[in-house]
Amino acid sequence: MYKITGFKRAFILIVAAAVLVAAGSVLYWRQVTERLSEDARAVIVSASRELADNFSRLLGAEFRLLSTVAVSLKEPDMLTNRETLVSYLDKQNKNNAFTLMGYQGPDGQAVFSNGGVLPDFISPENVEYAYKNGHYISGRRKGPFTGKDILVFAVPMPAEPGEKAGVVFATQTIEFYANILSANSTHGQGLAFIINRAGDIIIAYPRAAYPNVFEAGRHSVYDRGKSALRTQQEISRGESSWTGYTLNEEHRFASYYPLRYNDWYAMSVLPTKSVAEQAQRLVLMSLLLCLSIIVVLGVLLVFILRMQSQSSRALFRMGFVDPLTDADNLNAFRFKFPRAAAAFKEKGVPYALVMVNVNRFKAVNDIYGFEQGDQVLKQVAQALRGALQEGELFCRSSSDIFLLLLACPDRTELGRRVDVLAARAGRYCPGEGEACLPLSLTCGIYLVDENVPFYIMMDRANLAWASAKQHAGQVCAFYDEESRRKIVTEKRIESSMDQALRDGEFKIYLQPKCDFKTGLTCSAEALVRWQHPTQGLVPPDQFIPVFEKNGFVLKLDKFMLEETLRLLKTWKEQGKPVVPIGVNFSRLHLEDPHFIDVLAQTADDYGVEHRLLEVELTESVVFGNVSLMKEVIDGLHAKGFSVAMDDFGSGYSSLNVLKNLDFDCVKLDKEFLVRGEGNPRMRQIISGLVRMIKSLGSGVVAEGVETAEQAEFLSGIGCDLAQGYLFSRPLPPQEFEKRLLEERDKK
Ligand code: C2E
Ligand code: CA
Ligand code: CA
């Protein structure tokens, strides 16, 4: 779902752009071709007009020149003396660009500037034409002396009306005018003609393939709406127009415009091939330009997208991937969780949030270093990843904590699966030849049964984990309401215990140990109570186990010891009755080598005799390490303290062990009594036990004596003292003092 589609998008964009450009180019090409051929048409139309204009002007100039000469020939003697005439004509001719000039008299004799004389060089009809129109131009004809194709111009001599005074004429080669046409042939690409209305070509540039344009028209295929006939009609009517046709597989435009002289036309022809080529060139160039722009833009786009995707990938990694294990991080897990959970819900498969923690991971780091610690985490991650089934998720949530979303079709099945998983991840081998390190995992499982926010699910998995953690050797625990409440209470206790100790909320209560017969108080046991500001008097069962776990019991025991010593001290000082008091000590004290010394020193600080202090150690502690126990008992005895074994019979009591330990007193657990109730066999066992303990030289205290019947039985089998509600509940110190005083007074 995080796939980056930038490249795909860029690719599509580029392809789309290319298609657009291609389509655009085709359109553009057509547009350009059309526009260019329109242009070409316009060019050719204006070319023919220009050609007609220029040529007409040229002819006009020729006629004007001849007219000037004609006027000067009117001078006296000019026409009478042939020599004078020839020399004058020759001189004039040299000043102008004609081939030859001449004068043809009314007699028809034509005198040339080169001295030649020809009869009727210009036919009488044409001379007549010149008289009538003021000028005359011949069609193409052969030159008289050179044989070259020429044109002949003539103007009449000034004369009175009706007078025939002859004409002044000049000849010029067709080639000369062809050269002039070349300058008007649309930049050398086109053709230029001077034709007459019959279509005969008079002057052509370059040389024409056909002598007559209509004849050429017969070999051509005309554009739609155009034809040779139409052109012919237009020309015969003296109109100017244009036509398009294909000749010799070459398309051309031709336009024609009448000259001011004769019935002549100027005709310009332009092959459209050059237009098409120009269009192609133009389109090609624009296409290339577009393509290069697209390529540049494309490269730029790809570059930008790559940068973007790289940085978003990096950002994504930072936000959603755990860099050490490559697994999802908590963010990613939280993001994916709802969807995955919904999928399970849809399939009707129950699912669980599982929290997995590497036990004593800190020790791994401390002993093997962080690098190995990292390896351990990687390996655990790999094991978890490998165990996932379809639709399940896992992530590394923080340092050594992993979270999993697992399908849980069946509770025991999931428990087993998690056990297997823990076993698989539960061994780390740093390298060849090095000892493998046994790892253990603890898992907390919250079987999601309620629609609660994710953080509450995490809390619950965490609570389950904490309760698994409480039981050594347990790999996983399921979350349930009871364990939740227990843990919540524990947390509350832990968070307030220090303050409670400072504020004096812990109180000492004293429970008498009494003589069966007389009921008099022989000694007592100090029992702690928590006078909680909101919860009232809290019994020790609710907080001592928590304190034993977190070590706070050491402080509390020390406090109780001092409270006991303070009481003993004040009783003595105030001359009140004094009895030995038993103080409970947690097994944690035994790990402290200075325990006995500190105890002795504290008693001394209060000035209390050691014999008044009885140390109560529970059975489980005693059997944990017999030799250490022996040392402790001997040490306490050496300092003059007496030692009692507490809760005898609650666990795995062994008389054998008891034999080797020199307790002053053994306290029978109240469970014993309960079990003995109405059970003669049990009673026999108890009686046997008491006898044996006594035979080892220890006193016996029966705990939890609640009924007279129990008291009778216990005293009957030889128990020394009774501690129980039958005689007294644990009392606040003043009440206990009062009791002692009353007892003394009774004596
Ligand atoms: P424990 O040492 O076995 O103390 C005797 C417990 O039996 C006391 O419970 C007492 O109230 C109860 N008891 C006495 N007579 C009867 C009876 O006739 N019937 C019944 N049902 N119970 C009776 P408490 O005071 O709740 O103490 C519970 C346990 O808490 C103690 O068991 C002891 O293990 C621990 N504890 C109490 N105070 C301290 C302390 O200052 N330090 C340490 N380390 N543990 C303490
Ligand atoms: Ca006790
Ligand atoms: Ca006890």
What string of H, E and C letters represents the secondary structure of 564-619? HHHHHHHHHHCCCCCCCEEEECCHHHHHCCCHHHHHHHHHHHHCCCHHHEEEEEEH
Q: Which residues surround ligand 2, an ion (CB under 5 A)?
A: 584, 616, 646
**Least confident segment among 298-302, 378-382, 523-527, 624-628:** 624-628
Residue 701's closest CA among 673, 655, 728, 668? 668
Distance 472 CA to ligand 1 centre (A): 25
pLDDT above 70: percentage of residues in the chain: 96
Closest residue (by CA) to atom 24 of ligand 1?
540
- Say which residue, 698 or 317, is predicted with more confidence: 698
Scanning the structure block, which residue is given the tokens 């044409």? 126
Kindly indicate the confidence band of residue 275, based on its pLDDT and cuts at 50, 70 and 90: low
Q: What is the pLDDT of residue 637?
A: 97
Phi/psi of residue 498, nearest 5 degrees: -60, -45
| Ligand 1 atom showing the smallest separation from residue 527 Cα | 38
State how far the alpha carbon of 563 is from the alpha carbons of 262, 590, 597, 668, in Å. Answer: 150, 21, 18, 26
Q: Is 586 in the pocket of ligand 1 (CB under 6 A)?
A: yes
Q: Tell me which residue has its CA closest to atom 41 in ligand 1.
A: 528
Ligand 1 binding pocket mutation candidate from 541, 544, 547 (most atoms within 8 A of CB): 544
How many helices and strands (H and E) does the chain possess?
23, 30
**Nearest atom in ligand 1 to 560's CA:** 41
Which pLDDT belongs to residue 277? Answer: 74
Q: Is the CB of 551 under 6 A from ligand 1?
A: no
CA of 634 from ligand 1 middle (Å) equals: 25
For residue 190 and ligand 1, the question of a CB distance below 6 A is answered with: no
Mean pLDDT of 310-320: 85
- Residue 669 CB–ligand 1 contact under 6 Å: no
Tell whether ligand 1 has an atom less than 6 A from the beta carbon of residue 582: no
Examine the pLDDT at 76 and tell me if it is beyond 90. Answer: no
Ligand of minimum distance to the alpha carbon of 582: 2
Strand, helix or coil for residue 113: coil
- Of 554, 523, 524, 556, nearest to 538 (Cα)? 556
Any ligand 1 atom below 6 A from CB of 670? yes
Tokens of 248: 């010799």
The arithmetic mean of pLDDT across residues 426-455, rounded, is 83
> Could you tell me the CA-to-CA distances from 576 to 162, 569, 571 in Å, in that order?
186, 10, 5
pLDDT attached to residue 649: 82
pLDDT band for position 274 (cuts 50, 70, 90): low
* Predicted confidence band of residue 185 (pLDDT cuts 50, 70, 90): low
Q: Does residue 646's CB lie within 6 angstroms of at least one atom of ligand 1?
A: yes
| DSSP state letter for 540 | G
439/583: higher pLDDT: 583
d(CA 68, CA 64): 6
**pLDDT on residue 27:** 85
On the question of pLDDT at 2 being above 50, the answer is: no
Token pair for residue 103? Answer: 């004068």
pLDDT band at 87 (very low <50, low <70, confident <90, very high): very high
Residue 52 identity: A
Do 596 and 635 meet the contact criterion of CB atoms below 8 Å apart? yes
Taking the centre of ligand 2 as the mean of its atom positions, its distance from the CA of residue 586, in whole angstroms, is 10
- Evaluate if residue 188 carries a pLDDT over 80: no
Q: Within 10 Å of residue 299's Cβ, how many Cβ atoms? A: 11
Q: Average model confidence (pLDDT) for the chain?
A: 89
Strand partners, 244: 253
Nearest CA to ligand 1 atom 25: 527
How large is the average pLDDT for residues 559-587?
A: 96
Exposure on the CB side of residue 366, measured as CA atoms within 13 A? 4
For the residues 629-637, what does the mean pLDDT come to?
A: 93
| Confidence band of 46 (pLDDT split at 50, 70, 90) | confident
pLDDT > 50? residue 63: yes
pLDDT of residue 516: 95
Tokens of 733: 């110190």
DSSP 435-488: PPEE--EEEEEEE--S---HHHHHHHHHHHHHHHHHSTT--EEE--HHHHHHHH
Span 700-726, average pLDDT:
95
Of all protein residues, whose CA lies closest to atom 19 belonging to ligand 1?
704
Residue of minimum CA distance from atom 8 in ligand 1: 527
Relative to the CA of 723, which ligand 1 atom is closest?
Answer: 15
Residue with tokens 């139309």: 45
Nearest CA to ligand 1 atom 20: 704
49 with 268: CB under 8 angstroms? no
How far separated are the first and last CA of the chain, in Å rounded?
90
Q: Give the number of the ligand closest to the Cα of residue 644.
A: 2
Distance (Å) from CA 429 to ligand 2 centroid = 47
Residue 667 CA to ligand 1 centre (angstroms): 12
* pLDDT of residue 3 exceeding 50: no
pLDDT(190) > 90: no
Tell me if 525 sits within 8 A of 581, measured CB to CB.
Answer: yes
- The better pLDDT of the pair 110, 13 is held by 110
pLDDT band at 1 (very low <50, low <70, confident <90, very high): very low
Ligand 3 centroid distance, CA of 646 (Å): 5
pLDDT confidence bin for 276, thresholds 50/70/90: low
Confidence of residue 622 (pLDDT cuts 50, 70, 90): low
Contacts of 373 by beta carbon, 8 Å cutoff, 6+ apart: 361, 364, 365
Cα 182–185–188 angle (5° rounding)?
Answer: 80
The atom of ligand 1 lying closest to the CA of 585 is 44
Closest ligand 1 atom to Cα of 548: 44
Note whether 569 and 602 are within 8 A (CB): no
Rounded CA separation 454/340 (Å): 13
Least confident of 283-287, 288-292, 578-582, 740-744: 283-287
Find the farthest-apart pair of alpha carbons in the chain and give their distance in angstroms, rounded: 201
Reply yes or no on whether the pLDDT at 427 is more than 80: no
Backbone angles phi, psi at 365, to 5 degrees: -60, -45
Query: Closest ligand 1 atom to the C-alpha of 553?
Result: 44
| Averaged pLDDT for residues 19-26 | 81
**Exposure pattern of 72-81 as b/e (b: 16+ CB <10 Å)?**
ebeeeeebee
Q: 563 and 594 in contact (C-beta within 8 Å)?
A: no
- Of the ligands numbered here, which is closest to the C-alpha atom of 647? 3
Task: Indicate if ligand 1 lies below 6 Å from the C-beta of 724.
Answer: yes
- The ligand placed nearest to the CA atom of residue 552 is 1
- Does 527 sit in the ligand 1 pocket, CB within 6 Å? yes
Instruction: Select from 514, 525, 584 the residue to mutate for testing ligand 1; criterion: most ligand atoms less than 8 Å from CB.
Output: 584
Pairing of strands 721-723, 506-515: antiparallel
Which residue's C-alpha comes closest to atom 10 of ligand 1? 730
Mean predicted confidence (pLDDT) in 404-420: 90
* Residue 557, ligand 1, Cβ within 6 A: yes
The CB of 511 under 6 Å from ligand 1? The reply is yes
Using 50, 70 and 90 to split pLDDT, how confident is the model at 367? confident
Ligand lying nearest the CA atom of residue 621 = 1
Q: For residue 39, give the nearest of 287, 281, 272, 284 by alpha carbon.
A: 272
The number of the ligand nearest the C-alpha atom of 557 reads: 1
| Ligand 1, atom 5: closest residue by C-alpha | 703
More confident residue, 294 or 173: 173
262-271, pLDDT tens digit by residue?
889 999 888 8
Q: Quick one: which ligand is closest to 673's CA?
A: 1
The ligand whose atoms approach the alpha carbon of 667 most closely is 3
